[in-house]
Amino acid sequence: MASNDDTKAPTQNGPNRRDMLKGVSVGAAAVALSAAAATPAEAQAVSAMPESPYGGGPSTGLQFPPYYRPTKYVRSRNNYFPTSETIGPDEMRISFIGSCPVPPRRDQAGTCIMVELGNGDRFFFDFGPGCVKNILAMGVPMQEINDIFLTHLHIDHYHDLSYLVPFAAWAGRWKQPLRVNGPSGRTPELGTKGMVAGMKQMLKWHLEAFDMFPIGDGYEIEVNEFDFRDDNGVCYDKDGVVIRH
């Protein structure tokens, strides 16, 4: 009776698996011999191929050249963890706290930029509505918010001052005034001093109601009003830090 098992006798119509493996082995040996037989000039040409400054390669991840790498003070290139990173003596950290004028959005605050320096200084450029909550989320206590610079007096650039003044004093900023820097106006009432005086009048009921707490000098506001016509003038010069308007 004929058998259906054809695995015992290899077919004669083509190479079997053993022959194919032999062919692969011979081919690999030939490639190795040809590589070994390369002339010194050819070998030198191969070794002289320029290397990518980014490094990389399979499973190695992207590497940056030295001039792109972060400083030793940065813990992560991808994430910022508040209060976890030291700023180098020659560095500054610039954080956009908010940049939305109108309409208000749940996930966005009014214009405010926080600048932190390696010497420990911290400045705020504009102070729009909703910025205080984001500043607190950055790990800065309310009583340490100070040195605010206003570019102009549209309300989306200073609105949270009216929130900061009473509550920062109530939260413990008792021994130093709030320092506000801003432009003058075409008339006195249109300048930063006029705005602050009007804001304190608006807050009068609140300030007197909270005066029962230990406020100290927390309600004091030191206004540095610079001439808006003085383009590129110096509005701050202290401890080696110069700010121009």
Q: Domain of 160: which CATH number?
A: 3.60.15.10
Burial zone of 127 (CB within 10 Å; 0-12 exposed, 13-18 middle, 19+ buried): buried
The answer to whether position 112 is within a domain reads yes
- Establish if 194 belongs to a structural domain: yes
Could you give the count of Cα atoms lying within 13 Å of 107 in the half-sphere of its Cβ?
Answer: 0
Q: What is the Cα 182 distance to its own chain's centre? A: 25
Residues 55, 61, 62, 63, CA torsion sign: negative
Contact partners, residue 50, CB within 8 Å, separation at least 6: none
Is residue 178 in a domain?
A: yes
Residue 71 lies inside a defined structural domain of this protein: no
Could you give the number of structural domains in the chain?
A: 1
Whether residue 81 lies inside any domain: the answer is no
Q: Evaluate whether 24 touches 32 at the Cβ level (below 8 Å).
A: no
Q: Which two tokens stand for residue 61?
A: 């991840």
Over residues 143-169, the mean pLDDT reads: 93
Query: Distance from CA of residue 163 to its chain's centroid?
Result: 26
- Summarize pLDDT for 207-228 with one digit per residue, the tens: 888 877 777 777 889 999 999 9
Whole-angstrom distance, CA of residue 100 vs CA of residue 119? 30
Structural domain containing residue 135: 92-235
Domain-located, residue 136: yes
* pTM exceeds 0.85, yes or no: no
The model's pLDDT over 72-124, given as tens digits with 9 standing for 90+, comes to: 777 676 777 888 888 888 889 999 999 988 887 888 899 999 999 999 999 99
